[in-house]
Each structure stands twice: as structure tokens, then as C-alpha cells.
Amino acid sequence: MTKNYYDENYDEYFKNTIDADMSEMISKFLAYLKPGARILDAGCGVGRDTKVFLQKGYEVDAFDSSIQMVRLSTEYTGQMTKLLRFEDLDYVDEFDGIWACASLLHVSREDLPNVFRRLERALRKGGVLYASFKVGDDYSEGGRDFTCFSQDEFTFFEPMRDFLKISSVVITKDSKKNTEMTEWINFFCLVCK
């Protein structure tokens, strides 16, 4: 259902997200990486952040599960974006960093541990994973399902401690216009290999 929302509302989604200012989180993420590192933009949407990483000289692969997001991202970045679901990731030790900005929140709570494991396998030793979720309770709205977290809900991540270590958590306000009341919880996780 969520994928259908993006396939059907791609133009509006592009307009609503293309100018979102992610510079603070991007700077924090890149501080973990060496210049020219290889990044996976996981669930890249319209390609906004992929383009920033490319402009900064990083090697970037990007994917999304929506055919329309793949098309928009490919056009916007000038680089092929893959059509792929989180549940089908099969990379092994290929990336120095994974950027999952507002994308894992569409993975069901039950599937998240498996997806986090797949993301960890895709990272090289010393790699970093960035993930962001809305603060609050899980909900469905307008054809999309959202998995959310409270600021103190770290027990969810306990089973993943053997392969991912939370390095930093940052709470931010939404960076899109007219949505400043929405809070986001931003996780920076390091690979334990």
C-alpha cells in the first residue's frame, strides 16, 4: 500500500520534499566517513540527498521501492537509481555508510530487525548507518503505514546490539515547510564487526 502511495503521488511528494534542509544530519553523517567513501542511499525517494552526496564527491548507490521515485531520482541525480525493497537487500561489505532518511519508517516493526541485519551486512567494517523515524506511535494515514519510536524506546534495538551499536541520537523538528511540529528521532549506528 505504501509503495502505491508514492507511485500515485510522486509529483506532489517531489514538490514537498525536494527543498527539505537535511544539512545538519548530512554533516553529522559525513563526519563518520572519509572523503570519497561509498554511500548507499536506502529508500532515496526523489534523490535529493543522493545528489548532495554526489556533489560532495562521494560514490553513491541509491534505491527505492517505488517505480516513480526511481524514475524521479534517476532524472534528478543523473545517475541510475535501482528499484529495490529493503527486504530484498543482498549487499555484503560494500558500503562505508548507509543513509536511510525517512525510509525505514515504512518497514513494519516486525520486519525491522531483519532489515537492520541486511543493512549491517551491506556495510564494511567501521561503517555507519543513519536512520530516521517520526517520534510517536505507529499509524496509517493516506495510504501509508508509519513505524514510529518514542524518545526512550531503545529497548527495541537491544536484540541488534551484537551487530549495531547506537553511536548518537538526535531529535529534530521536521525540515519541510508547514510541518515543523513533527519531531524526528535520528539514529547514527556503527557496525560491530
Strand partners for 187: 131, 169
CATH of residue 115's domain is: 3.40.50.150
Confidence of residue 193 (pLDDT cuts 50, 70, 90): low
- Over residues 33-57, the mean pLDDT reads 97
**Number of domains making up the chain:** 1
Give the residue numbers spanning the domain of 113.
2-13+22-151
H or E element, residue 130: strand 123-134
| 139, part of any domain | yes
Q: Which pTM does this prediction carry?
A: 0.92
Nearest to 164 by CA among 122, 131, 116, 132: 116
Asked which of 25-34, 46-55, 131-140 is least confident by mean pLDDT, the reply is 131-140
Buried b (16+ CB within 10 A) or exposed e, 98-131: bbbbbbbbbbeeeebeebbebbbbbbeeebbbbb
- Over residues 24-48, the mean pLDDT reads 97
pLDDT above 90 as % of the chain: 67
Q: What is the three-class DSSP state of 180?
A: coil
The predicted-structure confidence for 134-169, as pLDDT tens digits, reads as follows: 999 999 988 889 999 886 766 667 667 778 888 888
Helix 23-30 to helix 48-55 angle (10° resolution) is 50
CB contact at 8 A, 75 and 133: no
